[in-house]
Amino acid sequence: MHLLDAWTALSVADLARLLGIPAAVLVAALLPGRRLTGVAALAIALLVVPCAELSAPLGVRVAWVALWLVIAALTISRGLDTVRTPAPRRGGFEASAIALPLGAALALLLLAAVSRQSATLAPLDARRASLGALVLSAGVLHLVMRRHTRRAPRAFGALGFGLELLAASARRADVTGAGAPAGAALLGTCVAVALVSRIAGSREQWSGSPLVSDAHELHD
């Protein structure tokens, strides 16, 4: 109940500001269209600006905003218009049927773990940890559902931002100061986004398709 109280104490505007981040990730995961999902990444960049739950120095917060702007730019890059679009396959439905219960189960598991600890957490820390769990779960859902390597940077961005929020909550309880510093998850996310973007470019160049499901068409 402490976790629920931490969220119900917020105004409608603050609820929209915080829950808009995982909602934007879900939009990118569930709905087709690169422009729509690019707008979702741009919305996350704007929502990160007032996100006090991030509990990071100004430089780290600005870097997160810049990263999401880069992810939005990668989403609407010109390469997506030139690649071959394959016919729809049953595998897309199968991936969705697996991913949706998996993402929901992961979110519930993480929220249950946060709820058990919420009695010992300040309301801000409880919201921070639960928001991190929601964003991370949405990132996992995105990664499993979408087979498009050009979309993968958004999934890894959500995973990294969720971890940054969870790490911020952990730092508040770390009296020894031995945990990872603010921005550690950001660095790992930048590396992951750069690598997956390079992979997407290579797939488009050599196979003509950024879809993971077309990997069988690559030959040595």
pLDDT at 95: 56
Res. 85 pLDDT band, cuts 50 70 90: very low
Q: Single out the residue of 136, 147, 129, 128 nearest to residue 189, CA to CA.
A: 136
Is residue 110 situated within a structural domain?
yes
Q: Given pLDDT bands bounded at 50, 70 and 90, which one contains residue 79?
A: very low
Residue 146 lies in a domain: yes
Residue 150 domain boundaries: 2-81+92-217
Q: Establish if 38 belongs to a structural domain.
A: yes
- Mean per-residue pLDDT, 147-157: 79
Q: Cα–chain-centroid distance for residue 93?
A: 22
124 — pLDDT class (breaks 50, 70, 90): confident
Q: Is residue 153 part of a domain?
A: yes
Task: Report the distance separating Cα 143 and Cα 159, nearest Å.
Answer: 9
Mean predicted confidence (pLDDT) in 87-110: 63
The total domain count for the chain is: 1
164 to 129, 168, 169, 184: CA distances (angstroms) = 10, 6, 9, 8
Whether residue 155 is contained in a domain is answered as: yes
Handedness of CA 180, 182, 184, 46 (dihedral sign): positive
Residue 33 Cα to chain centre, angstroms: 18
In a domain, 86, yes or no: no
The confidence score (pLDDT) of residue 191 equals 92
- Rounded to whole angstroms, the Cα distance separating 198 from 195 reads 5
d(CA 73, CA 68): 9
Confidence of residue 68 (pLDDT cuts 50, 70, 90): very high
Asked, for residue 87, whether it belongs to a domain, the answer is no
61, pLDDT greater than 80 = yes
The answer to whether position 120 is within a domain reads: yes
C-alpha pair distances (Å), 128 with each of 134, 165, 188, 208 = 10, 6, 20, 42
pTM score: 0.78
| In contact, 76 and 34? CB cutoff 8 Å | yes
- Distances 86 to 148, 180, 214 between C-alpha atoms, Å: 12, 43, 9
